[in-house]
Each structure stands twice: as C-alpha cells, then as structure tokens.
Structure 1
C-alpha cells in the first residue's frame, strides 16, 4: 500500500481488507478474487495448474479451429469471413481471459512481492504478468468485471444461437457427406451417425466452438474464481447491449465488405423482410441481458454454496464491507 491510497494486488488474499479513506472496509478487488478458488479442494497450486492446462488446451485448439473454419469455406468465400463470425470473437475473448487469469494467478502465487528496484527483463516480464495495482479511484475493476461478464455471456449466446436456432434452421456447420453437395452452411444430420460419421476432426471442432466454450464458462464461474456478483447491474447490462450492437454493426460491415453475412438472419438474400431482420437483431441483443441474468444467478449460487461448504479463506467480508467489483 502506498500513502494509504494504493493497495497492491500481488499479496495474499487471506486476512487482508483494503481500507477506504472514510475508514469503511472494501472487499478484495476482482483481480485478487480471480486468483483464488472458493473451494477448499482447489488450493492455489491446483488452481494455477488448472489454469495452465486450460490455457494450453485453448492455445493448441486455436490453429485447429482456424484450419476448420478455412476448410469449411464455400468456393469463392473470402478467408476474411472468419473475423466477422461471432464464434471467432467469442473464442478470442475467452482465450485472452484465460491468458490473463493464468498469468495473474501464477505471479500472485509464486511472485507476490517483486523488487521495484529490479529492472532486469525477467522481473519486468513478471511485473507485466502480475495483477494490476489498484487505486481507490481507479475504474479498472469495473472494466475487468465488464470484460469477465462479456466474455462468458458471449460464450453462452454463441452456443445457444447455434444449437437452438441456426442448426434447426438448416444453417449449422455440422459434419456432412461432402459427396452429396450442398452449401457451406448446410446442416449435417444428427441422426444415423451423421454427426460422427465423417471422422473426428469436424465433430471435435464443432463441439469446441459451440459447446465446450460454454461448458468452460460454467466451469470458470462455478469453480475457479471467487468473483462476486456484478455491481452495478445496470451498467453491465448497458455495456453488454452496447457491445452486442457493435457486433451487429461489425457483421453488417462484413456483409458489405466480403459479400457474406456471418449469420443467415443478417443476410437480405435469406431474410427478405426488413422488419423480420430487425426482429432477429432485437432478439440477438435481448439474449445479452437474459444470459447475464443466468450468469448472475450462477455466481449467487456459487457464493451461497461456498459460504456454507467452501474454503474458510473465502468467508464473507467483515460487517460494513462493500462489494469489491463496485464502482
């Protein structure tokens, strides 16, 4: 802590509360709560190992998914189509989140106190990998809380839209018999072994893009961090809605730029009525608050269960304390 106004995020979570100028204690910031699981069976060493395995898996998976997306292109499709796809953006957001989570958890456990006078490249790298230092007036906690929310809500939306809407409409990138022809967005069969009847690679990529990412989000929310429910709620919802609208603008730009929309319901060639297209877009945006409510409920469930059965170090905050993610 520096001059009573700064609190380092690199020290242990146990037994520390951060004083505010008025003497009221605030809860541990979100950066520290990311580095501590709420369950006694997941200590910090285990948590770092799990985060490392997740990051390695996602990193190895990335070029495989890129190859799959390039392989699934129709003749004449631009490779740039990939950057406009919601699944691509979702995966990148999750990968960046788990990169930060591993780096912060690792340095928080093994290098909690770095010598500020040491200017070697190793120390400089560790300093960059460490959780950010937090001042009382900084909004970094809110920005990361919003990023945490967006990256996980996007994963839920991505999976829901694909299996509940895109595939039933016949536009899912499911494995299919390529000898029978059909466009790149034709749905493969889920019956008679159609999904797993064309090798392991395509089903593996489909399940990772539109399934395992949502399961990973659930795993992270329920088991791997002690981040509290988002405050203020309305600001997170506004941020989610805004970013979903930004994506719709990005997708529309992609349609103009490469001539192919990432979703069929954004393509006037498939949706002839403008009102219907606006309805699809509105439904897409509404999914943001809906899955935010799901995430908020899951965090609340985890908090309640962790208070009863979790690690003693994750006990509730002192009386009069305030939410660490609040702005």
Structure 2
C-alpha cells in the first residue's frame, strides 16, 4: 500500500518483477528514491515539470515555424531536437498520469485479481495506472523508452553546445560584449540585434534555445536523480545496443525528412554543408550513432 511518507511500496510476495526486483519498473517510475519527496510532493513536482514542458512546446514550435528557412515548415518533425523533446515530453506526461493514479487511486485491482470488475470506470482507471506486474517484454520496452528519451535529451544538449554552436549552426552568434539597441519611439522595450549573443536575441528565440537545448537536460538530470526509483538498466549491453538502434532509426527518420522536405534534421548529415563531401556526412552520421551511448552512461 503506498503512503505519503515512504519513497517506495514495501516488498510484497505477490508482486515480484522480473530479475528478482520486488517492484515493477512502472511502480518505480512513480516513487522518488528520496524519503523527503513523498507521493503528493512528487505528483506536484511532476505537474510543474509537465506543465512547463507543455508551455515550452508551444513557444518553441512558434519559434521553429517562424525561423527563416528555405525549406517547408514540415521540416520541424524531422529535426533531432524535436524528436528528443517530444520523447521527453511524452515520458513526463505518462509518468505524471501514472503517479497521479498511483497516489490518489492506489487500490485499483489488476484484471487477474478482479476479472469481474468490468465497469467503465475500472477499465479507465486500469488503463491510466501503472502496472503492478509487468512481463519481461513490457519491462524491457518501458526501460528502453526511459533510456532513449533521456539519452536523446542529453545528447541533444551535448551536440548543440559542442558541435552546432561552434560550427555556426546554433541560431545565434558567439556572445560578445553587451550591446543593446533602444528604439527611441518605444521607451519600454529593448530591441535586440540578431547578430549579437544569445541574451541579446529576441525573447522567444532566447527562451526556445535555452529550453530546447539546455533546460531540458537539467530536467532530465532531475528526473534521473530525484523523481524515480528505476534501477540501473539491465542487461546493460542490450540497452547500449538498443540506444544504437534508436539512433540509427533517427537517421532513417532524418532521411525520410530529406526526401519529403529537402532538409536534413542535423546539419552534419547534409553533404552540402560538409564541404560537398558525402563521405564526411556519412562519417558524421556514424559518429552520431557511436556517441549516443555516452548519454546512457551519464
């Protein structure tokens, strides 16, 4: 039985997860490892984070759609930053729902325990609640989703500040000395020169850049360190291989985007931007796949 003071359910002989874990991974996603973060506080934190990510989604979409580009707006779904953000956003929506149901409706029986509980409310409650018992396939599927959503988020931030910005594809110039321009006709506003640093850019642009490529990584660290009790993923080799496969699938998705919009989701996949060298673009893509497990080890 959950409580507001225990970080995780006490072990139960009836609820044995695969590989000897006394709790399923779905339940572990709903409990903080820190005793100070009780269930109601955890639900409140998840509500704030999910609401924040939702607001970022709206502002960032506006920024991406309004960014000057020679390609169609349909390029946005194929960008790696979009894919990484959506995965993280969906993860937080899912865990918020599970945590809320687990906190405020903890006594919903499993279908095997209550085969006659066929009311619509019971079916809806079960659908939105974390499973107390999961199969090996279900455990592995959610574990991979948890891993990939956080690896992509961290990889997105890492690539942005170490690859895109130094290469001039970060959306703003390297910050220099503060240089604000005031419009004499409007004394209440500060107008920014787009050739200046990040904090001299338009507010929406600065907000979007900081959130999509930085704050999301901070949220990922908070999630991994404070908001769930998920154990280190196992088998490790299988998760590393799964991360490599997920990165390869993104390259395939980016290839679909190239065919549909004539735009690569990452600049280094475009031979034209790599010195008209297909080999350099292929090598960069291989490097992207190879470095993806780094996010898992962080």
TM-score bracket, normalised by the shorter chain, equals 0.7 to 0.9
Q: Structure 1 pair 241/18, CA: closer, same or farther in 2 (3 Å)?
A: farther
Partner SS state of residue 139, structure 1 = helix
Q: Name the structure 1 match of 2:131.
A: 132
TM-score by length of 1: 0.76
After TM superposition, the structure 1 = structure 2 runs for residues 67-78 of structure 1, keeping only pairs within 5 Å, are: 67-74=62-69, 76-78=70-72
Deviation at 1:62, TM superposition (A): 1.2
Q: Name the structure 2 match of 1:173.
A: 171
CA deviation vs aligned residue, 1:274-326 (integer Å, no higher than 9, x gap):
222222112101121222121xxxxxxxxxxxxxxxxxxxxxxxxxxxxxxxx
Q: 5+ residue gaps in structure 2?
A: 179-196
After TM superposition, the structure 1 = structure 2 runs for residues 54-73 of structure 1, keeping only pairs within 5 Å, are: 54-73=49-68
Distance 2:21 2:284 in 1: 42
Question: Is 2:9 aligned against 1:26?
Answer: no
Deviation at 1:29, TM superposition (A): 1.3
After TM superposition, the structure 1 = structure 2 runs for residues 20-99 of structure 1, keeping only pairs within 5 Å, are: 26-74=21-69, 76-99=70-93
Q: Structure 1 pair 36/289, CA: closer, same or farther in 2 (3 Å)?
A: same
Deviation at 1:192, TM superposition (A): 2.2
CA contact (8 A) 1:38 1:226 kept: yes
- Note the aligned Cα RMSD (angstroms): 2.1
Question: Which range moves more in the overlay, 142-151 or 280-289?
Answer: 280-289
Distance 2:39 2:15 in 1: 27
CA contact (8 A) 2:108 2:126 kept: yes
Q: Structure 1 pair 168/131, CA: closer, same or farther in 2 (3 Å)?
A: same
Distance 2:164 2:97 in 1: 36
Q: Structure 1 pair 118/201, CA: closer, same or farther in 2 (3 Å)?
A: same
After TM superposition, the structure 1 = structure 2 runs for residues 288-327 of structure 1, keeping only pairs within 5 Å, are: 288-294=292-298
Deviation at 1:20, TM superposition (A): 8.6
CA contact (8 A) 2:91 2:146 kept: yes
Q: Name the structure 2 match of 1:245.
A: 248
Q: Name the structure 1 match of 2:208.
A: 205
* Higher relative contact order structure (alpha carbons within 8 Å, sequence separation ≥ 6): 1
Q: Structure 1 pair 25/279, CA: closer, same or farther in 2 (3 Å)?
A: closer
Q: 5+ residue gaps in structure 1?
A: 1-9, 175-187, 295-327
Q: Name the structure 1 match of 2:281.
A: 277
